[in-house]
A and B are shown apart, each in its own frame.
Chain A
Amino acid sequence: MVLNPKILKKLFKAVAYTHDDELGCGDCCDEIEEFIELKLAGKSPEDAYPLVREHLDKCGDCREEYEALLTALKATA
């Protein structure tokens, strides 16, 4: 068992920001291209896609993929 203050804080954070209308990974993945193209255009995708932003904050895999995709697209722009 490795519960410690850091993990406790992570658990509280996950629970505190839980609500009914969260996006799942599939929905996030479906919308991430539009989100990221707005980002690359210098706009604020967080305003247009707040649930995507929130999912990226909560899901490590989707966040990692988003960041890698952003790097890839910047390199090919």
Chain B
Amino acid sequence: MPRWSKNNKEKKASPPYSNEEWVALLSNPPNEQAIDELRAILIRGLKPALSKYVDQELEQFVKDTAQDALLKILDNIHSFRGESKLTTWAMKIAVREGLTVLRRKKWNNISLNDLRGPNPDSDSSEIFSEKFASKDASPELSTAQKMMMEKVEGIIKNVLTEMQRTAITALMIHDLPVTVVAEKMDTNRNNLYKLVHDARKKMKNEFEMQGIDPKKMISELSGG
């Protein structure tokens, strides 16, 4: 006897299911055959989606990810708004689950306190080390770059709050993922994005006050 048929809910629909059928099949008590069918879809999508991030045991990682995602999908099935296919919504949850696990694993040992960035206690002369100057830059441009770095460092040091500085340093200088930085700062991605958005607005205002045109600077740094 198939496992799903132990459930009181009898599976009458056949795939491909409509959203309404999926929701009915996955709502309590969930139909186990439908769960297996969704698991198979998730695994089929996750393999190519995550293959470039997973060096070893992709098969097992994808199976574990699909299983963890299924638990979230079942827990949240009634929050599905029906504005897309259910399988699109479910795959989004699974992809986020897999990438979040991989990001945590990759950055697990990093402490935000250890990341070097502009802060009021740091020695500003460090940023002018010759090793940071572009090898291809002309001496004039290199000097201009150094002056601009000094100004930008000053703005980050003096205009941003400590939390904003920490976030900007982790995300923009050290390229840490938003997910990881949010967790390490005991917040969520949305709040972190807001914190950084406020920091960018502050920097924009300060640039204007100091006569710095960011778009012009991008062009100059691009050699334009």
CB within 8 Å of B: which residues of A? Answer: 1-5, 7-16, 18, 20, 22, 24-27, 29, 32-34, 36-37, 59-62, 64-65, 68-69, 71-76
Partner of A3, one of B83, B85, B132: B132
Per DSSP, chain B at the interface is: helix
Q: List 15 A-B contacts (CB under 8 A).
A: A2-B117, A3-B132, A24-B189, A24-B193, A34-B83, A34-B84, A61-B178, A65-B99, A68-B99, A69-B88, A72-B45, A72-B91, A75-B44, A76-B44, A76-B91
Does B122 have its Cβ within 8 Å of any Cβ on chain A?
A: yes
| Known A-B contacts A13-B218, A37-B85, A75-B45; A8 and B145 likewise in contact (beta carbons under 8 Å) | yes
Task: Flag if A3 contacts B193 (CB, 8 Å).
Answer: no
- Specify which of B49, B89, B189, B190 lies most central, judged by the most chain A CB atoms within 10 Å of its CB: B49
Task: Flag if B49 contacts A68 (CB, 8 Å).
Answer: yes
Residues of A within 8 A of B96 (CB): 29, 65
Partner of A2, one of B95, B173, B207: B173
Residues of A within 8 A of B221 (CB): 5, 8-9, 12
Per-position binary interface string of chain B over residues 74-118, scored 1 when its CB falls under 8 Å from any chain A CB and 0 otherwise = 000000000111011101101110110001000000000000111
Task: Flag if B89 contacts A33 (CB, 8 Å).
Answer: yes
